[in-house]
Structure 1
Amino acid sequence: MTSISSRRLRKELNEIQAEGCPTGITLLSADNFESWFFSIEILGESLYQGEVFKLMFRFDSNYPISAPAVQFVVDEDSTAPVHPHVYSNGHICASILGNEWSPVLSVSAVCVTLQSMLASCKSKERPVDNDRYVRYAPDNPKKTRFHYDGKRSMR
């Protein structure tokens, strides 16, 4: 981890600990500067109202210049939301995690964006290429070159 990455992550963590997370978002753990875990609850009237999902952020030494690897946790206690931009393995096809990433974005901003993405969803369905993608997907979603067309996620 570079000193720039460590300083930025320390600053973000201090802000979260001092000010708290946005409504519906909870920091579950941030024991190091490699991976952090959050829960996000979808608020308001939506298809996911009251549902809670777990997110994992993984940071490399180029953060915040490069986006963190962000995915929904899929394990015995958690599932990925059924959403046109979320694969069943938890990988997320969202442009802010790829070609529209900006170093001005924070971990909290990403959480709020994903919370909003779920809250505005009109139909619970998987991406059209879910089965194929999950079968061949890399462990790290940043190694996938997603195509962003605004409607569906595609590799």
Structure 2
Amino acid sequence: MAAARRLGKELQKMQNHMPDGISVVSADNFEIWFIDIKVLDDNPIYRDQTFRLKFHFSPHYPIEAPEVTFVITPTTPKIPMHPHIYSNGIICLDLLDRQGWSPVHNVESIAMSLQSMLTGNEKDERPPGDEDFCRRNTLRPRDINFSFHDNTV
């Protein structure tokens, strides 16, 4: 119930104003939403491309991070090339990780973070081991334990 209440407030806020390049495509329920993002600068890797994000919320949102992936649709036919985005749409981003998540974040801040991540990208490539990861992974994105570059042990 808390998730639905929070998502209702987020949706109402987003319907009144969304940052440039970010739009709500579908938010018909409090389990799955689709958001389109477009890189606004002149990044040659993503020029004139729009990408679709799928947000899957658990009943424990916002205590638990949503599961966010890039998806392919007829209007968004590509997963963006990026060193932290696998070809199956799974995103390696600490903000979406169990350890990096904070309930302070919301759908808008996640979309803006991903938009910024794409804006700053200069490498037209996939993460190392992309093909093997996509072929072998059977875990849901929220259950994957990524190792982040800034982790120190």
Same fold (TM over 0.5): yes
Query: Conserved in 2, the CA contact under 8 Å of 1:67 and 1:97?
Result: yes
Q: Which runs of 5+ in 2 are unaligned?
A: none
Residues matched between the structures, number: 147
TM-score, structure 2 length as denominator?
0.91
Q: Aligned equivalents of 2:74 and 2:14: distance in 1?
A: 28
Identity of aligned residues (%): 41
What pairs up with 1:75-90 in 2 under 5 angstroms? Answer: 75=73, 77=75, 78-90=77-89
1:112 matched to which residue of 2? 112
Q: Report the more deviating stretch, 45-54 or 73-82.
A: 73-82
What pairs up with 1:2-151 in 2 under 5 angstroms? Answer: 3-17=1-15, 19-46=16-43, 47-75=45-73, 77=75, 78-98=77-97, 99-138=99-138, 140-149=140-149
Q: 1:56-89, CA deviations, whole angstroms, 9 ceiling, x for partnerless residues?
A: 0000011000100000003555221010000000
Q: Secondary structure, in 3 states, of the residue corresponding to 1:125?
A: coil
Q: Aligned equivalents of 1:86 and 1:22: distance in 2?
A: 22
Q: Partner letter of residue 21 of structure 1?
A: M
Q: Partner letter of residue 119 of structure 2?
A: A
Q: Aligned equivalents of 2:116 and 2:146: distance in 1?
A: 20
Query: Conserved in 2, the CA contact under 8 Å of 1:5 and 1:64?
Result: yes
CA drift of 1:122 comes to: 1.3
TM-score, structure 1 length as denominator?
0.90
CA drift of 1:106 comes to: 0.8
Q: Report the more deviating stretch, 48-57 or 26-35.
A: 48-57
Q: 1:26-68, CA deviations, whole angstroms, 9 ceiling, x for partnerless residues?
A: 1000010000001101111213232210000000011000100
Q: Partner letter of residue 125 of structure 2?
A: E
- The CA RMSD measured in Å over matched residues stands at 1.3
Q: 1:88-118, CA deviations, whole angstroms, 9 ceiling, x for partnerless residues?
A: 0000000000021110001000000000000
Q: Partner letter of residue 128 of structure 2?
A: V
Q: Which runs of 5+ in 1 are unaligned?
A: 151-155
CA drift of 1:132 comes to: 1.1
